[in-house]
Amino acid sequence: MDGGRSAVGSPTEPRRGRRGGSLMARSSYEYPGYERSGASYWTKTTLLYAVVTLGALWMTLPFWWTITTSLSQNPTAASVSFIPEAVTIQHFVTLWERPDIMLVRWFLNTMIFAGAVTTFNLAFDSLAGYALAKLDFVGRDKLFLLFMSTMMIPGMVTLIPVYLLLVELGWVNTYQGLIAPLIANPFGIFLLRQHFKSLPSALGDAAKIDGCNEFQTFYKVYLPMAKPALATLGIFTFMGAWNNFQWPLIIAGEQNMYTLPIALFAVRNQYFAEWGLMMAAALIIVAPVLIAFLAAQNYFIRGMSLSGMKG
């Protein structure tokens, strides 16, 4: 838990754990009998790098194949393996021009969906996280436990009843239907509660003496200090919604409400064996997330490792 708390800080600040800075762990080679030379050392090192590199190739080659296939005139296994032959952007042009492929609309749908889900999550989760960390009220800890226990409910149990509820409301095939069930998330509450708990309560007391009410204390004093945690949660939530398949598949039945993953599934059924076209479509979904990841790697990794600190 302690590691979780200190890790909520800005990803750019040096890690405060034992391995950061001058407290760097002593590697094996600083002990007698583990010198950095000799046949055994070189064998081990070579083996280590070979295994790690092979694994990394396995992880990244599919991305490369996707790019080469999308750029090949007539993709075959041999022509896309490493360097593409006959490079062309024709598949992207086709995606853009086919009247039944509403690329811009689907892209906008996905942006609206992911953007709204993220905004609501940040607002609601920071309110609840703050209350559960800094305010004193009867049943607070029970409420927190209740929030956390909802994490154990498998998504597929609620799928049918939530769908039927939205049918009743007439929200099928609408943005509100797409967004509403996803606007709160127990993981976000947990993350922000931990972060608010790590901030001193004296700040709030000082703000109140200066005349802030409870909401102003939250909004003007504590919320700005939670920016790193909010950024982590925001990126993570956005990515989750961007990639979400199950919920949009069920609620967005009509073409003009598709999000990109659903559209990819529909396009796949229609243009089955046109692999160049398919890979170009896949790349359109993958590229934004991948670019964002390479630009803000630390936030992504921090978000992932924090989601593992719940227990």
Partner 1 sequence: MALEEGEDRGDRRFTTAARDLLGGTRERLGSGGDGDAIMGYLFCLPNVAVFSLFLLGPVLYAFWISFQQWSILQNSGTWVGLSNYAEVLTPLPVTAEGLNLVVFTDPSANLFWWSLKTTLVYAIGTVPLQIYGGLAVALMLDTRVRFKKAYRAAYFMPVMLSGAASAVMWRWFLSADGVVNNLLPTFLEHNWAGNPSYALGGVMLMAIWGGIGSNMIFFLAGLQNIPQELYEAARIDGASAWHRFRHVTWPNLGNTNLFVIVMAVISAFQVFGIALVFSEGGPYYATTTTVLLIYQRAFEEGKMGVGAAMAFILFLIIFAFSYYQYRHHQSGEIEY
Q: Which amino acid is at 169?
A: L
Residue selected from 95, 106, 118, 125 as contacting partner 1 according to rule CB under 8 A: 125
2-41 footprint of partner 1 as x/- string (CB under 8 A): xx-x-x-------x-xxx---x-xxxx--x----------
Q: What CA–CA distance (Å, rounded) separates 223 from 126?
A: 8
The tokens describing 120, both together, are 């609501």
Q: Are 117 and 183 in contact (CB under 8 A)?
A: yes
Choices 63-71, 83-91, 93-101, 222-230 (CB under 8 A): range interacting with partner 1: 63-71
Task: Please identify, among the stretches 43-51, 91-99, 111-119, 222-230, the one whose residues bind partner 1 according to the rule CB under 8 A.
Answer: 43-51
How far from 281 is each of 69, 239, 252, CA to CA, in Å? 11, 18, 19
Q: Is 77 exposed, middle or buried (0-12, 13-18, 19+ CB in 10 A)?
A: exposed
Contact 173, 254 (CB under 8 A): yes
Contact 306, 7 (CB under 8 A): yes
Would you say 230 or 278 has its CB closer to partner 1?
278
Contact between 143 and partner 1 per CB under 8 A: yes
- Closest to partner 1 by CB, 181 vs 234, is 181
Which candidate, 103, 124, 105, places its Cα nearest to that of 180?
A: 124
Interaction between residue 214 and partner 1 (CB under 8 A):
yes
Residue 260 near partner 1 by CB under 8 A: yes
Nearer to partner 1 among residue 19 and residue 224 (C-beta): 19
Footprint on residues 74-93 left by partner 1 (CB under 8 A)? 76-78, 80-81
- Closest approach, Cβ 244 to partner 1, in A, equals 8
Q: Which of 59, 83, 104, 295 binds partner 1 (CB under 8 A)?
A: 59
Question: Does 153 help bind partner 1 (rule: CB under 8 A)?
Answer: yes
Nearer to partner 1, 78 or 104 (CB): 78
In whole angstroms, what is the distance from residue 184 CA to residue 236 CA? Answer: 13
Helices (H) and strands (E) in the chain, counts: 17, 0
Give the interface size with partner 1 as a residue count (CB under 8 A).
118
For the CB of residue 17, give the shortest distance to partner 1 in the complex, in Å: 5
Rounded distance between C-alpha atoms, residue 38 and residue 161, angstroms: 66
Report the site for partner 1 in 166-205 (rule: CB under 8 A).
167-168, 180-181, 183-184, 186, 189, 197, 200-202, 205
Q: Which residue's entry shows tokens 């600190």? A: 309
- Whole-angstrom Cα distance, residue 173 to residue 178? 7
By CB under 8 A, tell whether 220 contacts partner 1. no
